């Protein structure tokens, strides 16, 4: 918990969030995409609270594929409060009430990045990263061999890296 307190100064003051509905049209990486609203506006979006490996590496490509499996072809809600230095909206994507951003961390395919988060989000995302580390998923896996992708018990979206 002490290290969590050190991260709190990086948390931005939460303004009133803006909410859009729409679909992703292009994946740029495991944490960036192009989002088209139902009104026809395009936004460049960086997943808030998430930092995925670069797409040219093995885990970066895997993160991008996993993000695609979570969002492509789906109608999503995008909630954002701010933009980053590159002009991307720092946004949280959700589908059917599920937080897509945190699922990237839980799969071990992204690390927690506190930029733009509220205090409650900061705690939830840090706990998700701790869980992925404890289970040695994705980037937290210590073996040099390539991870194996399997379907979770009962089906449904998601992967488990072993």
Would residue 155 count as lying in a domain? no
pLDDT tens-place string over residues 124-145: 999 999 999 999 999 999 755 5
33 strand-pairing partners = 27, 45
- Residue 49 domain-assigned (yes or no): yes
Question: Does a structural domain hold residue 43?
Answer: yes
The verdict on residue 158 lying in a domain is no
pLDDT, tens digit, for every residue of 68-105?
A: 999 999 999 999 999 999 999 999 999 999 999 999 99
State how far Cα 152 lies from the chain centre: 19
Q: Identify whether 11 is part of a domain.
A: no
CATH of the domain at 28: 2.40.50.90
Smallest CA-to-CA distance from 82 within 130, 119, 117 is with 117
For residue 104, tell me if it sits in a domain: yes
- Does 77 reside within a domain? yes
| Domain that residue 86 falls in | 17-143
Nearest-5° angle of CA 62, CA 73, CA 160?
A: 35
Contacts 24+ apart (CB under 8 A), 123-130: 123/4, 125/49, 125/50, 125/101, 126/4, 126/7, 128/102, 129/105
Give me the number of domains the chain comprises: 1
The answer as to whether 162 is a domain residue is no
Read off the tokens for 159. Answer: 């992967």
**Alpha-carbon separation of residue 102 from 33, 56, 98, 107, 111 (angstroms):** 16, 22, 9, 9, 10
Identify the weakest region by mean pLDDT among 61-65, 70-74, 118-122, 146-150: 146-150
Per-residue model confidence as pLDDT tens digits over 6-32: 333 334 444 689 999 999 999 999 999
pTM recorded for the entire structure: 0.78
């Amino acid at each position: 918990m002490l290290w969590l307190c050190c991260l709190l100064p990086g948390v931005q003051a939460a303004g009133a969030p803006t909410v859009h509905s729409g679909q992703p049209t292009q994946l740029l990486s495991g944490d960036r995409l192009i989002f088209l609203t139902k009104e026809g506006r395009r936004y460049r979006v960086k997943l808030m609270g998430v930092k995925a490996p670069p797409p040219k590496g093995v885990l970066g490509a895997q993160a991008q594929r996993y993000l695609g499996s979570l969002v492509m072809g789906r109608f999503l809600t995008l909630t954002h409060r701010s933009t980053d230095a590159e002009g991307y909206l720092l946004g949280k994507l959700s589908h059917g009430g599920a937080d897509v951003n945190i699922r990237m961390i839980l799969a071990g395919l992204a690390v927690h990045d506190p930029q733009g988060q509220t205090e409650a989000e900061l705690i939830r995302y840090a706990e998700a990263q701790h869980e992925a580390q404890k289970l040695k998923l994705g980037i937290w896996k210590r073996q040099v061999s390539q991870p194996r992708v399997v379907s979770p018990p009962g089906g449904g979206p998601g992967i488990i890296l072993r």
